Copies of this chain bind each other. A is one copy, B any other.
């Protein structure tokens, strides 16, 4: 495979990897219309705060979500809404089984 093409698919695969975790999908759905802090999100999911912080970091690095600091808290919200369109296709895949 061509080197440039290979790099392109590698880059795209990184994005899918960022989405390929139930907690991170939950985050995306949850912060699409509310802004929530790390602590609030970790309590909603029921995992350690440090684990949640790492999940958020992965989404942040890909600029899928963005955090804004308000007082002591960092409130996260969705930056790339088109990601939600993925889900309707994902549902088609699920319903195929």
Q: Find the residue from A9, A10, A85, A88 having the highest chain B CB count within 10 A.
A: A9
Count the copies.
2
With A82-B89, A86-B89 as contacts: A94 and B1 at CB distance below 8 Å: no
B12 close to A22 (CB less than 8 A): yes
A61's nearest neighbour on chain B, judged by CB, is: B97
Task: Report whether B82 and A92 are in contact in the complex, using a CB–CB cutoff of 8 Å.
Answer: yes
Q: Quick one: which of A6, A20, A92, A94 has the most chain B CB within 10 A?
A: A20
Q: Which residue of B lies closest to A86 (CB)?
A: B86
User: Considering the chains assembled together, what is the distance between the CA atoms of A57 and B87 in angstroms?
Assistant: 22
| Bound CA–CA A63/B13 (angstroms) | 19
A84's nearest neighbour on chain B, judged by CB, is B89
